[in-house]
Amino acid sequence: MAGEQLRVASGGLSQKRSFLPLDSDPWFRYKSSMIDEIVSQLGDKADDLLRHECKTVDASTLHLPGPDWVERIFTSTDRNQRVLNNLQRMFSTGRLGNTGYLSILPVDQGIEHSAGASFAKNPRCFDPEGIVELAVEGGCNAVASTFGVLGMLSRKYAHRIPFLVKINHNELLTYPNQYKEILFGTVEQAYDMGAAAIGATVYFGSDDAHREIQEIAEAFALAHELGMATVLWCYLRNNEFKQDDEDYHLAADLTGQANHLGCTIGADIIKQKLPENNGGFKALNTGGSSYGKLDERIYTELTSDHPIDLTRYQVLNCYSGRAGLINSGGASGMNDFAEAVRTAVVNKRAGGMGLISGRKAFQRPMAEGVKLLNTVQDIYLCKEVTVA
């Protein structure tokens, strides 16, 4: 079969390669090693996560990521052409370009977690250029950070990698600490620096949620008017979500409802933490209390205890996947590579759109951070990791 041409995609660019015997083609060896590395990182969880069949919400009922994502989903919406252009730019950038999946580097922890606590492991990231360079070198679709970080470098980098400006934060210098998201700039500022998108957090369930919902709904409407895409961090925050030694901040039913509310206020993409349990509505409706509304089919038909099924319920609440679900990578720890691989496998197999992983990457030297980002991206490039 010598002389035949095999077209492959790498980093969003198509190129021709001669067809070689499978044991000598370096591209084949690379692709084959991807699934081997994924299996190795998953360890004893590999079989359960890679072979799981979802019998709750069928994948055929969802709008799944693909190269035609923007055209297929957003041409029927009220978003104007400039929003579609910026969305397409994000989906066409980096190693996952033109796959329908996203790998975003988020670094706003300097405000919420203190710069010292966030960057002590890698002081290079006190300099905004260290953050943007990591996103570029790591092959990300976009870099998400603060007005200060991205504004400091916009003329040098905004045309090289899509900017996602995080417009609100919970600053933890007020004493005692409060959990309230406040704006740190305007939508117009993000537009002026050439941002492709804005991002924001709403603490759903908090005593400040009503203000945050109204404020961010207005900000997202203006962003769309100006042609920018919108990404919402749909986080839960309420001490009462901890019941009888069980923490329901990451319950599938509650986070799913937060996702649904996020779509309602105009988010194009939803950022959510991976679910760890379920039954939040049930737990909060005990002892004569009345909280929210539930249907038993949430637990008997639409979810199971499996992490992929729990995450699929999050996707279902993102308008059946019309708003892409990206899960957060979580804090840095002892087994960052294995944890990042697991999160990405669960997200992809559930029907999600990608990962937004920060601390696991930027709290490392550049080469290690790039390797972690590429390891996550490889899961979305690996055809053997399928939607369950």
- 388 in Cβ contact with 350 (< 8 Å): yes
Report whether the peptide linkage leading into residue 176 is cis, meaning its omega lies within 30 degrees of zero: yes
- 267 in Cβ contact with 230 (< 8 Å): yes
Q: Cα-flanking dihedrals φ and ψ of residue 370, to 5°?
A: -60, -40
Residue 375 tokens, joined = 């390891």
Rounded to whole angstroms, how far apart are CA atoms 263 and 139? Answer: 28
Catalytic residue positions, numbered: 271
**3-class DSSP string for the chain:** CCCCEEEEEECCEEEEEECCCCCCCHHHHHHHHHHHHHHHHHHHHHHHHHCCCCCCCCHHHCCCCCCCHHHHHHCCCCCCHHHHHHHHHHHCCCCCCCCCCEEEEEECHHHHCCHHHHHCCCHHHHCHHHHHHHHHHCCCCEEEECHHHHHCCHHHHCCCCCEEEECEECCCCCCCCCCCCEECCCHHHHHHCCCCEEEEEEEECCCCHHHHHHHHHHHHHHHHHHCCEEEEEEEECCHHHEECCEECCCEHHHHHHHHHHHHHCCCCEEEECCCCECCHHHHCCCCCCCCCCCCCHHHHCCCCCCHHHHHHHHHHCCHHHCCEEEEECCCCCCCHHHHHHHHHHHHHHHCCCEEECCHHHHCCCHHHHHHHHHHHHHHHHCCCCCCC
Rounded to whole angstroms, how far apart are CA atoms 114 and 130? Answer: 17
